[in-house]
């Protein structure tokens, strides 16, 4: 091959020996050309250098979702990621330039061998949200064309697990339902034919559900199919509050903002605490408050009022009188969307 270059692949490998997982890192030199994908590079290592290297793959066209793995510190599809772009760096594709290509199995789940993880938790969580349209009294028989605008993007999920692997909440709290399952849940809440929308929103508002997301955005960057799970989670929060599912700290916290902004323009942080957690919850925060007070970090309960705050009240009044629909982004509509 005339135009080929060489690069080192540093691969995190491992297997279970006598009940103990033993990991190691191995380096392989790989030749690559303009269009060589990470998956092709791994195939060449397996064919020419070490036949025991284990990874999943099937379609080679970012449809099956089998080859999700951590490539230079982010979960990506090996078949969709070009070696040249990893080496050179492409800002638009969120790829910093790198001398070495580091490959590891997906995070937030156990490793079976080398790059193949045990993805059963991921699947089980998707299963817990009942991933199908349910019969029920909220079901609408008519499906408008515009209904697709909401479900288009989330229907693109190929269950590759990249979002689950990069999720920062999952890393700290393994019981979290996770971005893929919640995006899937939104797909059904947003489907006019679904019969139990409110019940779903109630269940999703419980612990390990929509309010546990940190909004870190990792899932949006990780998703190779532009599902943008965090956006779906945000929309679920909006719909839950609209449906009156507000008796939880997450919803109470979100709702408190509007009132503060209309009243003074600024957040009233001590009151925010009280409104989010209630009196007993706020008392539980006394330790934290005293700790902050040591450094003079207790804000006034009467924050300075910003100029022209009446305008904000006018805006809210106008929107209450004549609501406008802003949920659907332009990019989610029309030909080519979804």
Partner 1 sequence: MSKNGLNYAYYPGCAAKQIQKEADWSARAISEKMGIKLHDMPKATCCGAGNLQEHDPAAGLAVCARIFSQAEEMGMDICTICNTCLQTFTFANERLKNEPELLEKINEVLAKAGVRPYMGTIDVKHLIWVMVDDLGVEEVKKHVQKPLNGLKVAPFYGCHALRPHEVFNGRGGQAPQYLDTIIGALGGESVDYNGKDKCCGFHTMLVQEDTFLKMSGGHSLEAKREGAEIMVSPCTLCDMALGAYQARSEKFLGQKIELPEMSISQLVGTAFGLDHKKLGFNRLHQNPENVFKSRGVA
The number of residues making up the chain comes to 338
- Which listed residue (3, 35, 99, 308) binds partner 1 by CB under 8 A? 308
Residue 329 and residue 338: Cα distance in Å, rounded? 12
- Residue 292 interacting with partner 1 (CB under 8 A): yes
Residue 235 and residue 97: Cα distance in Å, rounded? 35
- Residue 306 interacting with partner 1 (CB under 8 A): yes
The burial of 137, by beta-carbon neighbours within 10 Å (0-12 exposed, 13-18 middle, 19 or more buried), is given as exposed
* Cβ neighbours, 10 Å, residue 81: 23
Q: How far is the CB of 139 from partner 1 (least distance, A)?
A: 25
Q: How far is CA 181 from the centre of its chain?
A: 10
Query: 6 φ, ψ to 5°?
Result: -120, 145
Q: How far is the CB of 328 from partner 1 (least distance, A)?
A: 10
Q: Which two tokens mark 83?
A: 């070696």
Query: 146 φ, ψ to 5°?
Result: -65, -20
Q: How far is the CB of 325 from partner 1 (least distance, A)?
A: 8
- Residue 289 interacting with partner 1 (CB under 8 A): no
Half-sphere exposure of 127 (CA within 13 A, CB side): 6
- Which listed residue (29, 50, 206, 327) binds partner 1 by CB under 8 A? 327
User: In terms of CB distance, is 53 or 162 closer to partner 1?
Assistant: 162
- Residue 257 interacting with partner 1 (CB under 8 A): yes
Build a one-symbol-per-residue string for 158-197: x at contacts with partner 1 by CB under 8 A, - elsewhere: ----------xx-xxx------------------------
Residue 82 and residue 36: Cα distance in Å, rounded? 6
Q: How far is CA 9 from the centre of its chain?
A: 28
Q: How far is the CB of 84 from partner 1 (least distance, A)?
A: 16
Residue 158 and residue 50: Cα distance in Å, rounded? 29
Residue 20 is given by DSSP the state E
User: In terms of CB distance, is 59 or 292 closer to partner 1?
Assistant: 292
Half-sphere exposure of 98 (CA within 13 A, CB side): 20
- Residue 238 interacting with partner 1 (CB under 8 A): yes
Q: How far is the CB of 165 from partner 1 (least distance, A)?
A: 13
Choices 13-21, 28-36, 140-148, 307-315 (CB under 8 A): range interacting with partner 1: 307-315
User: In terms of CB distance, is 41 or 256 closer to partner 1?
Assistant: 256
Choices 41-49, 51-59, 179-187, 313-321 (CB under 8 A): range interacting with partner 1: 313-321
- Residue 312 interacting with partner 1 (CB under 8 A): yes
- Residue 96 interacting with partner 1 (CB under 8 A): yes
User: In terms of CB distance, is 198 or 234 closer to partner 1?
Assistant: 234
Choices 131-139, 140-148, 181-189, 211-219 (CB under 8 A): range interacting with partner 1: 211-219
Residue 194 and residue 136: Cα distance in Å, rounded? 7
Kindly list the distances between the CA atom of residue 105 and the CA atoms of 23, 73, 116, in Å, as whole numbers in the listed order: 11, 10, 6
- Residue 316 interacting with partner 1 (CB under 8 A): yes
Half-sphere exposure of 149 (CA within 13 A, CB side): 14
- Residue 276 interacting with partner 1 (CB under 8 A): yes
- Which listed residue (4, 49, 146, 314) binds partner 1 by CB under 8 A? 314
- Residue 60 interacting with partner 1 (CB under 8 A): no
- Which listed residue (22, 59, 143, 319) binds partner 1 by CB under 8 A? 319
Residue 50 and residue 166: Cα distance in Å, rounded? 28
- Residue 237 interacting with partner 1 (CB under 8 A): yes
């Amino acid at each position: 091959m005339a135009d080929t270059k060489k690069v080192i692949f540093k691969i995190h490998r491992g297997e279970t020996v006598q009940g103990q997982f033993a990991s190691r890192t191995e380096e392989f030199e790989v030749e690559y050309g303009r269009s060589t994908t990470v998956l092709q590079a791994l195939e060449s290592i397996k064919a020419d250098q070490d036949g025991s290297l284990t990874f999943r793959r099937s379609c080679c066209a970012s449809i099956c979702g089998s080859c999700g793995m951590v490539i230079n510190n982010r979960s990506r599809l090996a078949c969709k990621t070009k070696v040249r772009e990893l080496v050179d760096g492409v800002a638009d594709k969120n790829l910093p330039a790198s001398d070495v290509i580091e490959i590891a199995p997906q995070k937030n789940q156990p490793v079976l061998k080398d790059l193949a993880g045990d993805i059963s938790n991921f699947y089980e969580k998707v299963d817990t949200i009942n991933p199908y349209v349910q019969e029920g009294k909220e079901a609408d028989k008519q499906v408008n064309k515009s209904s697709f605008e909401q479900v288009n993007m989330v229907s693109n999920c190929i269950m590759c697990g990249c979002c689950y692997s990069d999720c920062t909440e999952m890393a700290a709290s393994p019981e979290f339902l996770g971005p893929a399952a919640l995006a899937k849940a939104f797909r059904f809440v947003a489907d006019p034919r679904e019969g139990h929308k409110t019940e779903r929103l109630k269940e999703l508002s419980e612990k390990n559900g929509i309010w546990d997301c940190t909004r870190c955005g990792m899932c949006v960057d990780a998703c190779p199919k532009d599902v943008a799970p965090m956006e779906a989670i945000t929309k679920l929060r909006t719909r839950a509050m609209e449906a009156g599912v507000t008796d939880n700290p997450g919803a109470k916290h979100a709702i408190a903002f509007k009132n503060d902004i209309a009243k003074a323009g600024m957040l009233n942080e001590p009151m925010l605490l009280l409104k989010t957690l209630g009196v007993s919850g706020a008392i539980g925060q006394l330790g934290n408050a005293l700790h902050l007070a040591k450094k003079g970090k207790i804000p006034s309960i009467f924050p300075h009022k910003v100029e022209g705050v009446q305008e904000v009240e006018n805006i809210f009044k106008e929107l209450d009188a004549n609501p406008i629909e802003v949920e659907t982004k332009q990019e989610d509509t029309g030909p080519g969307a979804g």
